[in-house]
Amino acid sequence: MPARTPAPGRATYFPQLATERPDIALCRASAAVARAAEAAAHEHGLGVGHHLVLKMLAAVGPRSQQALSEELRIDRSVMVGIADELEQSGYIRRERDPADRRAYAVTLTTAGRRALTKAEKYIPDFLDRTFAPLTATEREQLTALLGKLLV
Read off the pLDDT of residues 103-148 as tens digits, 9 standing for 90 and up. 789 999 999 999 999 999 988 898 999 999 999 999 999 999 999 9
Three-state secondary-structure class, residue 22: helix
Phi, psi dihedrals of residue 103, rounded to the nearest 5° = -110, 165
Gap between the Cα atoms of 50 and 75, Å rounded: 13
Architecture per CATH, domain 17-149, reads as: Orthogonal Bundle (1.10)
Query: pLDDT tens-digit profile of 27-42?
Result: 999 999 999 998 888 8
Query: pLDDT tens-digit profile of 55-95?
Result: 999 999 999 999 999 999 999 999 999 999 999 999 999 98
Gap between the Cα atoms of 126 and 119, Å rounded: 11
Gap between the Cα atoms of 119 and 105, Å rounded: 23
* DSSP one-letter code for 150: T
The separation between CA 102 and the C-alpha centre of its own chain, rounded to angstroms, equals: 29
